[in-house]
Structure 1
Amino acid sequence: MNMKVAADIGNSTTKMIIEDELFSQPSVIRRLMKKPQVSETDLKEHVANLDNNLTVHITSPAIKATADGLYVVGHKAITTDLDKVQNMNIKLGNKHKHDLPVIMILSMIARKIIKEKFDETGKLEASYSADCELSSAIPASEFNFEKAEILEKRFATKAHTVIVHLGEKKVAVNLTFKKVKVTEEGVPAIFALLSEDETILDELNQMYGKENGNVIRPSDLKKMKIFHVDIGDGTTEYIYTIGINPVLDASTGEKRGVGHATEEATVLMNEELNGYMKVNRQSFMGIAADETHNLHSEAKNALEIAKGSQANFILEDTIEKVSNKAGNNVDMIAVYGGGSIQFRDYLFDDLKQFADQIKTKLLWIPEKKAVNLNVRGLDILNRKVFFRKKR
């Protein structure tokens, strides 16, 4: 089996595209000391619920020897024992060295193979093997070619084994990475933007294009100087592109984003509770999203205070970097990423005012498309650039 894999290893969510299927998991794992108890024995049910019950044993040369073992991954990891979960340390960075992204990627590829094979045949063999071509990205704040190569070699050096637990049945998935390409976060988004339909620019054209009778289309972006503000969970990437080419010396990243706002809000809420309830980043977001939770109002108020603080940092970063890194020579400021949804109310008006001052345009990517630009861009790069078959 051969497959092209695009993996966006976010601090909050890992997104993946394989064979046109886009799927994701929270970037969270929990180590198990023993196999979980099984209440359901029907294999079809286990496969159908795999996204919510992803349990794997990982053996991989890409992670520390002591990290080989049994894990619950993603949604399953955050449903119980929140004090034992592992997530990305958004303050330390160095994503290319972490074991968590490797475990997430290996587990999610194995998930894809299990579901695909069961859908094809209605049964599962004891083992499967796949040759993969993988692309991913690391933050601009840590990116250089040496670090990218470190992550590439972690996957490409030797084979990896993922044993997926499906009730009483275990299925081994052996993965070999024939080619791996790691690029800079933010860069793939320009390729995704160019391939989008025109609705992605509707708000932009309403603000600017119709004034002078000109309508901007996605294909026009390849001629523009664009300053990208990709707001994530642990980092915000500030990427300057001329056409489809990133200007590496003018592209940077900072430790800003939803995760930092959440951590700040978590501290505020723990202070509010006088330490009687220990709330971590994942559980806090669950409370903030659950309107029926008895602490929802407290969580929401704490998060709004923290979001305002982070939004100010991102605004200051953008003004400073557009001026000093790009010399104010930009045709457009493009804002996207999961954080663009969370911070829009706090940031849009100020960024629009700044864009007007320097005679440029503000493109705020619509919510439905903002989150997946990077993974879609990686998928496009897989097919058209990184792993294109040579004639």
Structure 2
Amino acid sequence: MKLIVGNDIGNSVTKMYVGEKLIKQPSVVKRLFVKPDVAETDVKTNVANLLDEMIVNVTSDALKRNGLYFVGARANITADKVENMNIKLGGKHKHDIPILMTLSMIAAQSIKTNFGANGKLPEEMSLTVGMTSAIPASEYSQEKARTLEGRFTSGTHVVIVHVGDQLVTVKIKFNQVKVTQEGVPALYSLLEAPIQILELFKKTYKEVASFTVKDFIGKNILHVDIGDGTTEYIYMKAMNPINDACTGERRGVGHATEEAIKMLKEHLNGHLNVNRQQFMEIFKDPTHNLHADAVRFMEEARYNEAQKIVEDVKEKYMTQTAGNVDYIMVYGGGSIQFYDELFEELLEFADEVRCKLLYIPAKFAVNMNATGMKVLNEKVIFRKTS
């Protein structure tokens, strides 16, 4: 089976296009030393739930430790010995979690696709994959990009996926991998997006009522891509990133979340042990007994983190762009969380420096990089030629 993959390896969530299918999982793993008991033996049920119940045994030269893992949502059920990426240290190109997430998600989705087509589980599958991915601008260099590419392209990766009480061996060979800077794919996403992506922009500026996404071709844009562990400030003239002016800072929802966890833990006299992903489940669940406290502490932490981002935008504008900016474009999962704290302040700043604020609506913001990678794959990197 041949696959084209667009892989947005987030510190919080990994979002991936496998062909036309967008799949998502929390970026967490848990190493296992004993095979877990099987509770469900119905094959259809297990395949339907496969992404949320990933138990995999991975063998790969790209990993420091081969072995048996819970991956994604399955790993996130308990806090004990769950691993996620350290957002303070960075180093995504060297970390094992991006490799484990990528291999496991590709293998599981391929099994689902195969089962849907054939109605039975295969014993073994062989995949040939072409993939686009990205690392933060705060970490990016050509050498680091080549390092991550090489971890995927060197050798064959073997993923044994547990589907209830049955095992499927998936062999994955990457024939081409392109790693770019986070933020760069988003412009491609914008230029291929439906006109609804400009709803907030047109509501903010009456004079752009006739604009289409194609009106952003050739413009100078300061991208503000707010993630979990980093915020990327990508300065692009026309379609080209100005590498010396593309930077990133360790700002984002994850940092605010860690501060909120500290406050909540102190509030509970230390009787709490959750990771970032688990805290956000509490934050989003109004029925949880700690929901109100989580919301209160997150609001405080979010305000402080948002102020740092505003200061960054002003500094990057002054020091990296020489004032040659047509639009400040804000997106990423963090742009949704920080909207109330950021929008008016960034709008005021944009007015002061005579440019416009393109704040991407929530329904598009979180998938800009993943969607952009899909567009890059189709239009540029893996474009079909006759």
Indicate the residue corresponding to 2:214 in structure 1: 219
Percent of paired sites with the same residue: 53
The yes-or-no answer on 1:369 pairing with 2:367 is no
1:11 is displaced (CA, Å) by 0.3
1:379 aligns with 2:357: no
Partner of 1:274: 269
Contact kept in structure 1, 2:27 and 2:101, CA below 8 Å: yes
Correspondence for 1:109 among 106, 110, 113: 106
Answering whether residue 284 of structure 2 is matched by residue 300 of structure 1, we say no
**Number of the residue aligned with 1:68:** 66
- Name the CA distance, whole Å, in 2 between partners of 1:184 and 1:328: 23
> Partner residue of 1:200?
197
Q: Which runs of 5+ in 1 are unaligned?
A: none
Matches of 2:232 and 2:324 in 1, distance apart?
18
Matched, 1:247 2:242: yes
CA distance in structure 1 between the aligned counterparts of 2:44 and 2:137, rounded to whole angstroms? 42
* Structure 2 letter corresponding to 1:24: K
Q: After alignment, is 282-291 or 18-27 more displaced?
A: 282-291
Q: Name which of structure 1's ranges 265-274 and 170-179 shifts more when overlaid on structure 2.
A: 265-274
* 1:64-143 alignment, distance < 5 Å: 64=64, 67-80=65-78, 82-143=79-140
Letter in 1 for 2:339: R
1:149 corresponds in structure 2 to: 146
Partner Cα distance (2:277, 2:25) in 1? 13
Partner of residue 258, structure 2: 263
Cα pair 1:91 1:255 within 8 Å, conserved = yes
In the TM superposition, what is the alpha-carbon distance from 1:83 to its structure 2 partner? 2.5
- Find out whether 1:166 has 2:149 as its counterpart: no
Deviations 1:176-234 (A, max 9, x none): 000010000000000000001211112212222x33x7622100111210100000000
* SS of residue in 2 equivalent to 1:84: coil
> Equivalent residue for 1:190?
187
Q: What is the CA-CA distance between 1:390 and the residue it aligns to?
A: 4.5
Letter in 1 for 2:88: K
Per-residue CA distance 1:337-374 (angstroms, 9 max, x = gap): 00000000011110000000001100110100000010
The reply on whether 1:177 has 2:210 as its aligned counterpart is no
Q: CA deviation at 1:167?
A: 1.4
Query: What TM-score, normalized by structure 1, do the two folds share?
Result: 0.97
What residue number does 1:25 align with? 25
Distance 2:140 2:53 in 1: 33
Output one character per residue of 1:45-68: Cα deviation in whole Å (capped at 9) or x when no partner. 11011122111100001111xx10
Q: Comparing 296-305 with 152-161, which one deviates more in the overlay?
A: 296-305
- 1:36 and 2:16 are equivalent in the alignment: no
Residue type of the partner of 2:199?
D
Residue 282 of structure 2 contacts residue 288 of structure 2 at CA under 8 Å; is this kept in 1? Answer: yes
For the 8 Å contact 2:199–2:361, the answer to whether it is kept is no
For residues 120-162 of structure 1, what are the alpha-carbon distances to aligned partners after superposition, in whole Å with 9 as ceiling and x for unaligned?
A: 1110121000110011000000001000000000000100000
For the aligned residues, what is the CA RMSD?
1.1
After TM superposition, the score normalised by the length of structure 2 is 0.98
Q: What is the one-letter code of the residue matched to 1:43? A: V
Paired position in structure 1 for 2:57: 57
What residue is the counterpart of 1:233 in the other structure? Answer: 228
Q: Secondary structure at the match of 1:161?
A: strand
SS of residue matched to 2:304: helix
Q: Give the secondary structure class of the aligned counterpart of 1:83.
A: coil
1:276 CA drift (Å): 2.3
- 3-state SS, counterpart of residue 37 of structure 1: coil
1:289: Cα distance to partner? 1.5
Please give the alpha-carbon distance, in whole angstroms, between the structure 1 residues aligned to 2:146 and 2:171.
23
SS of residue in 1 equivalent to 2:46: helix
Q: Which moved more, 1:40-49 or 1:128-137?
A: 40-49
What is residue 13 of structure 1 aligned with on the other side? Answer: 13
* Alignment length (residue pairs): 386
In 1, Cα distance between equivalents of 2:273 and 2:157: 37
Determine helix, strand or coil for the equivalent of 1:39.
coil
Q: Distance in 1 between matches of 2:9 and 2:327?
A: 27
- The answer to whether the 8 Å contact 2:335/2:365 transfers is yes
The question of whether the paired residues in 1 share the 8 Å contact of 2:26 and 2:277 is answered with: no
The residue type paired with residue 360 of structure 1 is C
- Name stretches of at least 5 consecutive residues in structure 2 with no aligned partner: none
Structure 2 residue 306 is the aligned partner of structure 1 residue 311: yes
